[in-house]
């Protein structure tokens, strides 16, 4: 699988994992203190080939994603579910621990965040759906984030991502129905 866009990752181990899974070039941020030289590289890559931000599903990874997206809003975003990023020994979390299949799927599902934010799904909808403020809401958000390919979020971030990725009411309802069915099957 060849990827046209340049993939922004956190470090060398992530680059190694990406190259194992796909034919692609990467830019490494070397941690969450993203410097101006890295931002300039990402801007240049965005203008010529396009960029996919693919960071770890943790706080530092989200911080890097936010810094880059604020400076280069034209990037696509690829998300890896936490369970797909856990090291086999359980002592690590990151892109470098993901399987080839999980990396390929995340990159295939990369999406653009939209400038024009439309609120199709409200905070009230999230509350009614059991995604915020209740028992089991975190687990349900994890599943919804995975089904919609927008990554794990807390309640406030979920609302923002649903708007940024312009998730329709129908997409949301379908993902919610699958999540509820899976809960009942457990």
Choose among 162, 121, 126: nearest CA to 145.
162
Question: In this structure, are strands 51-53 and 111-112 parallel, antiparallel, or unpaired?
Answer: unpaired
Q: To which residue do tokens 């993901």 refer?
A: 98
6-20, 59-73, 151-165: least confident range? 151-165
Is the pLDDT at 120 greater than 90? The verdict is: no
Alpha-carbon distance 132 to 26, whole Å? 36
**Beta carbons within 8 Å of 176's beta carbon, 6+ residues apart:** 129, 144
In this structure, the dihedral spanned by the alpha carbons of residues 46, 9, 61 and 57, taken in order and rounded to 10 degrees, is 110
Q: Dmax over Cα atoms in the chain, in whole Å?
A: 50
Which one-letter DSSP state was computed for residue 113? Answer: P
Q: What is the pLDDT of residue 114?
A: 62
Q: Is 135 helix (H, G, I), strand (E, B) or coil?
A: coil
Adjacent-strand bridge partners of 7: 26, 52
Which one-letter DSSP state was computed for residue 186? Answer: -
Alpha-carbon distance 24 to 40, whole Å? 19
Domains delineated in the chain: 6-112 (3.40.1360.10), 123-185 (no CATH)
Is the pLDDT at 71 greater than 90? The verdict is: yes
| Residues in the chain, overall count | 186
Alpha-carbon distance 37 to 150, whole Å? 28
* Contact in structure between 162 and 130 (CB atoms under 8 Å): no
How sure is the predictor about 31, in pLDDT bands with cuts at 50, 70 and 90?
Answer: confident
pTM higher than the cut 0.75? no
Q: Is 8 helix (H, G, I), strand (E, B) or coil?
A: strand
* Contact in structure between 162 and 113 (CB atoms under 8 Å): no
Most confident of 29-33, 68-72, 158-162: 68-72
Q: What is the pLDDT of residue 91?
A: 86
């Amino acid at each position: 699988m060849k990827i046209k866009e340049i993939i922004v990752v956190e470090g060398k181990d992530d680059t190694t994992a990406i190259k194992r899974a796909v034919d692609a070039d990467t830019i490494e941020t070397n941690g969450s203190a993203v410097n101006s030289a890295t931002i300039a590289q990402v801007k240049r890559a965005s203008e010529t080939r396009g960029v996919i931000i693919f960071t770890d599903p943790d706080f530092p990874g989200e911080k890097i994603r936010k810094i880059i997206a604020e400076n280069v809003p034209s990037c696509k975003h690829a998300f890896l579910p936490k369970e797909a990023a856990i090291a086999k020994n359980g002592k690590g979390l990151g892109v470098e621990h993901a399987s080839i299949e999980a990396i390929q799927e995340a990159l295939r599902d990369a999406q653009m965040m939209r400038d024009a934010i439309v609120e199709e799904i409200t905070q009230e909808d999230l509350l009614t759906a059991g995604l915020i403020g209740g028992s089991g809401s975190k687990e349900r958000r994890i599943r919804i984030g995975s089904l919609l390919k927008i990554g794990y979020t807390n309640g406030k971030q979920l609302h923002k991502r649903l708007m940024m990725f312009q998730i329709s009411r129908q997409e949301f309802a379908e993902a919610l129905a699958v999540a509820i069915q899976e809960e009942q099957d457990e």
